[in-house]
Chain A
């Protein structure tokens, strides 16, 4: 226990970094997810292709390989960002592909009649998407998006492997000093479980507030 209480500062810092990273990348991934899902269903064949390639490439590459490529290899061609920003960009891009697929699945659940009605009253593609399809489609997939956000939370730990000191790395550092692995890693594991519980509570509340009962 001393190992935990004696290093609250380090743990707190790691926890804050993990939460910060999770919030930032969730927002980034949501934006990207909506954009890519829109690309995949838009009338322009070229842009549909771009969306498909994006999803295929990012879902089939390991996140760690992307992080290594971005953090260690891109500087050799003169593209550098601060470490935290790099990790946030890569994780957003990666989870954005998964969210795009979830959102597309949500769009598919919207009744055909809704889209037909939107066209019948003269809405354009982007208008019908914005006012009719997306508001309903997103509500249908709150639960799956919550699951992806929990996966995102767990994936922020991979930033540790390229040098970001977040919760996992903080735990590892404390353990290297204190050599009390059970207390330290159990503490970190519990913190992740609590964060995941928090996310599923939030998505549960959103679901109750917004979901449409058909």
Chain B
């Protein structure tokens, strides 16, 4: 995978191969031991009985869980759109030429990057209603998540915009575009393309944050799992299935982020080598002194 992995150890000789085999056997034994112990724990408490798992093969239970997954995805999508937009505005604010704007956006990001989302959830649950701001349940989950994720998105956008070659901005200004136009027409399209992998992997974080619905009692996946578990008394089964659903959804998103990353890597290296080649051709012996 990475170059060091091949560098840290040689191609194994006979003795190293024997050692690798021993480590493999020991590792396999440890894993099997762990599984055996887990199975024993399940079995000795009667949690392995067929009727305690059978409900998870029936459609009504799955329809309930898929409804919950839909609610999770809905909350995640709303949070992603709103916090993405707010984050972009904040990033532009931090990079703007106006000092008060820069200061305000900076303060927002610094504050909400270090305040836990749960504290914000508690504020929307217990503080805001006192001042007449009583959101519907869905927004009680989404609003605090937007507030905290916007700060994260702002940092991603800012890093992406700053990472772009200065020459792009300078070229835009040189052909007579105004600052706003340069940002909109030249910088953002390129920065956003390169940021897609980071943005997608932030989606995973955001989707994980929606599990705070557990606290809000919004019927997303984790809270629905809790309701189902208290109704059926199948605690460990329900939460394992819920965890599995989270795992499948998030692992697919992470995989997508990696694919995009690899594709972007190819795009940018190709772009860079293409840019270097014409520069390399005029290098005649006389010009090396430059």
Tell me how far the C-beta of A8 lies from the nearest C-beta in chain B, rounded to whole angstroms: 19
Is A158 a contact of B118 with CB atoms below 8 Å?
yes
Q: Determine if A82 is an interface residue (Cβ-Cβ < 8 Å).
A: no
Q: Please determine whether A65 and B118 come into contact, CB atoms closer than 8 angstroms.
A: no
Flag if A64 contacts B212 (CB, 8 Å). Answer: yes
Q: How far is the CB of B109 from chain A (nearest CB, A)?
A: 12
**Bound: A47/B111 CA distance, A:** 41
Contact between A45 and B24 (Cβ–Cβ < 8 Å)?
yes
A77 and B9 CA atoms in complex are apart in Å by: 42
A50 adjacent to B31 (CB under 8 Å): yes
A-B contacts counted at CB < 8 A amount to: 172
Do B235 and A73 touch across chains, with their CB atoms under 8 A apart? yes
Q: Tell me, rounded to whole Å, the shortest Cβ–Cβ distance linking B130 to chain A.
A: 6
Q: DSSP majority for the A interface?
A: helix
B115 contact from A44, A65, A192, Cβ within 8 A? A192
On whether the beta carbons of B42 and A77 are closer than 8 Å, the reply is yes
B246 & A65 in contact (Cβ 8 Å cutoff) = yes
Residue contact B27 to A161, C-beta cutoff 8 Å: no
Q: Which residues of A contact B20 (CB under 8 A)?
A: 43-45
> Which listed segment binds B: A27-35, A55-63, A205-213?
A55-63
A13 within 8 A of B: no
Q: Contact string, A88-121, partner B, CB cutoff 8 A, digits 1/0? A: 0000000000000000000110101001100100
> Would you call B219 an interface residue if the criterion is a C-beta within 8 Å of the partner chain's C-beta atoms?
no
Tell me the bound Cα distance from A72 to B4 in angstroms. Answer: 42
Hey, which chain B residues are within 8 Å of A116, CB to CB? 7
Q: A64-B222, A107-B4 are in contact. Are A78 and B239 (CB under 8 A)?
A: no
17 inter-chain pairs at a CB distance below 8 angstroms, sorted by A residue, are: A43-B12, A44-B20, A56-B254, A59-B204, A60-B247, A68-B226, A73-B240, A74-B236, A77-B38, A77-B42, A78-B44, A119-B9, A158-B118, A160-B118, A168-B118, A168-B119, A197-B114
